[in-house]
Structures are given as C-alpha cells and as structure tokens.
Amino acid sequence: MKEIRKIGIITGGGDCSGLNAVINGITKAAVTKYAVEVVGFTKGFTGLINHNFRDLDLKAVSGILHEGGTILKSSNKDNLFNYPVRQKDGSIEYKDISDEAVKNLKYLGVDGLIVIGGDGTLTSARDFSRKGVSVIGVPKTIDNDLPKTDVTFGFNTSLETICDALDKIHTTAYSHDRVMVVEVMGRLSGWLALEGGLAGSADVIIIPEIPYDINKIVDKVAQRDAFGRNFTIIIVSEGATPIGGKVTVREHVEDSPDTVRLGGVGDIITRQLQKLIPHHEVRYTNLAYLQRGGVTSQFDRSLGLMFGVHAVDLLMQGKTGQMVQLKGRKISEIPLEAVVGSGDIGETSVGGKKLVKVNGQLVKTARAIGISFGD
C-alpha cells in the first residue's frame, strides 16, 4: 500500500455549488483525521501542468462551506491527454502531455489525487489512474446526468434556483394572463426541467428525452384557457428537440473539448407560440448561469462534505481508481472504469449520460397531475 502523506485536489469543468463543500470536507478530514498535507491545484488540470497550486489547511477552508463556485477556480479546456500546444509558426497541435503532469506530482510529493468533475474530468482521472497515479473521482454536475450515482452535488442548489424563478414568474404570468417560457440547462438530460418544473408548478415541461410537438403545447394553453386559468408556465431544457428535429445550437467554441454550446430553443418556442396564440402575450426567460451560482443548499453542503471525507478515506485505505457515489442514503464507491469506460453502464443513457426514464415515476407523477410534455 502506497503511503499517503500529501493529497492534491483538482476541480475541473463547469463550476457549481457544493464544490467548496467537497474541498472543505477533503481538507478537514485529511488534516484532522489523518494528519496529512493538502494542496489545491488552480484552474483544473492547468494548475497541475503549470505548477500553480495553493496549500490548503484548516484556516484556508474556513468559512467556505456555503459558498458557490470553487476557491481553486476551474477550467474545461485542459485535457492533458489532448492538450493544445502552440507551435513556433503559431499553429496549434494537440499532444498528450500527461507524463509531464505525473512528473509534477512526484516532484511536489503528491501521493494521491482527488479529482472533482463531470464526465470529461473524470475520464482524465481514469486515465491518470491507468498511469499508476492514486486517484479518487468525485462526481459533479448540476445536470445530474452522471451514471452510477443517484444524485450529484450542485443539482439540488440549481433546483432551488429554478423553483425560486418559477415562483416569481408565476405572479407575473397570472397578473398579465401571459404564457411564460423558461429555459434551463440540460443538454442531453431533462432532470433540471423535470424536477424543477414539477416542484415549481409548471404546466408544460419540455425535455430532451421526449421530443415535443408545438401544437400539443398550444392545446395545453387552450385547455387552461377553457378552465379559466388564462396563463401558462412552460419550462424547457436547452437540449429539447421538436419531433423529427435537432437541438438548437447557440454557438461553437473552437478551443473547447466540447465545441457545441446549446441554447435558444425556448426563444424559438416563444416565437412559434406567439404566432399560434396571438390572443396571448408570450414571454421568454433563460436562467442560464444563474443555475450554477448562489449559496449552496443544505443538501449539497452535506453531500459535498460526505463525498470529500469518503474520498480521503479511500485514498488512505489504498483504494484508488474509484469514484465516490450516493446510492440510496449510503455513500460508497465504484471503479472509474465502470463510470466512464466503454462497457455497458447499466443505465438509460446516450453517450454515457444518465437520462430521464420516459415511463419513470417522476414523469408519471407529472402526467397524473395534468402536466403536459408536449407529446
């Protein structure tokens, strides 16, 4: 068993509430329980390759539990196994510089690495594990679409933001008899729209897993009008598609590992509805990055702490190449190979993503209380 005397932390991918809770849990458990050192690499794997890091002790993580984002900052453009290296002629060539990162870990005396991130970041964690680095992964995404864990931290805080927004929009919709379209994140999965819309009293929920028919949405508005409810609230995932159609691409970011940026499907639905129901005013709101920020919810603070402490325990027990997970009410672990590997992940999925089950309990509950999915 490799002796762990110093632990490194990396936060990669998009920020979300709960990251600081994980950092807090890792640092406090490492220092208090095991008396080992902790360092945090800044801006994801870029900090590892550039020797940019900060020492983490009890004072450094004091007071950060409730804060959104990450005190280590983050990046989603630094895959060290396919890293953009500028050549003398100004061109960019992608190279595998992971061996250099491994050397940096040894030079700094980092014996174990805890990597906090989504599918791309955890794929790098798996690849470093294959190189012999002692690695533990911690799942992070507000979309809640990572397989092998019931929920990821950050999701709950985002739902609170969405519910709060729908509560506020509800009053305006009622006051002016308007149809309000609210777009939320969710590229391939509709967890945010589904659970946020269910708790936020949406009348129509549009998710990627259930392609929509704009005329079915019109029918729902007419049904509410006939019932005397002359306003309608529609929540839509950014990755939603019409039947037989494609996702709405907002832009392409060429220097990112994931070049496609979605967004704007809510605006398209709004414009279509305004033509089909001219007797109503139809308004569009995109919550965008509001969903990533804010004070971390109680659930995400607790989950982040438990994930962080368990990650440290695994390293100290000599267990590596694992991802911590929540199954039921228990924190456990599963090999990274089973999460981001090429084999069967045992979940309803597209591209390794955990998707909403179209006949699952949440969808059935929504349908039972009269919510339309535009189908």
Q: Is residue 346 very low, low, confident or very high in pLDDT (cuts 50, 70, 90)?
A: very low
What tens digit of pLDDT does each residue of 327-342 get? 999 999 999 999 985 4
DSSP 14: S
Return the closest-CA partner of residue 321 out of 158, 115, 33.
115
Amino acid 90: pLDDT: 82
Which pair of structure tokens corresponds to residue 253? Answer: 């970011």
- The pLDDT score that the predictor gives to residue 259 is 65
The pLDDT assigned to 12 comes to 92
Residue 262 confidence (pLDDT)? 75
- Give yes or no for residue 162 having a pLDDT over 60: yes
Instruction: Say which residue the tokens 């864990």 belong to.
Output: 149
Asked whether residue 188 carries a pLDDT value surpassing 80, the answer given is: yes
For position 344, what pLDDT does the model report? Answer: 38
Q: Is 143 a catalytic residue?
A: yes
Q: Which residue has the tokens 């594990």?
A: 129
- Domain residue extents for the chain: 6-153+296-341, 157-292+357-368
Neighbouring C-beta atoms of residue 325, cutoff 10 Å: 23
The fold of the 157-292+357-368 domain, in CATH, is: Rossmann fold (3.40.50)
Nearest to 76 by CA among 115, 121, 123, 40: 121
State which CATH number among 3.40.50.300, 2.40.110.10, 3.40.50.450, 3.40.640.10 fits the domain covering 6-153+296-341: 3.40.50.450
Mean pLDDT of 56-68: 96
- The yes-or-no verdict on residue 343 having pLDDT over 90 is no
- CB neighbour list of residue 110: distance below 8 Å, 6 or more residues apart: 6, 7, 8, 39
Q: How does strand 37-41 pair with strand 204-206?
A: unpaired
- pLDDT at 122 exceeding the cut of 60: yes
Distances (CA, A) of 207 to 190, 265, 327: 5, 11, 25
Full-model pTM: 0.91
Angle value at C-alpha 112, between 109 and 118, nearest 5 degrees: 130
pLDDT in tens, 32-42: 999 999 999 99
Q: What is the pLDDT of residues 263-279, one digit of tens each?
A: 889 999 999 999 999 99
Which has more confidence, 78 or 230? 230
Share of the chain above pLDDT 90, in %: 80
Is pLDDT above 70 for 256? Answer: no
pLDDT surpasses 80 at 179: yes
**Could you tell me which of 150, 122, 156 has the C-alpha nearest to residue 337?**
122
| d(C-alpha 371, C-alpha 111), whole Å | 52
Mean pLDDT, the chain, whole residue set:
92
Read off the pLDDT of each residue in 14-22 and give the average, rounded to a whole number. 94
CB atoms within 10 A of CB 211: 16
Do 167 and 285 form a contact (C-beta atoms < 8 A)?
no
Catalytic residue among 119, 143, 145, 203: 143
**CA gyration radius, the chain:** 22
Q: Do domains 6-153+296-341 and 157-292+357-368 have the same CATH topology?
A: yes
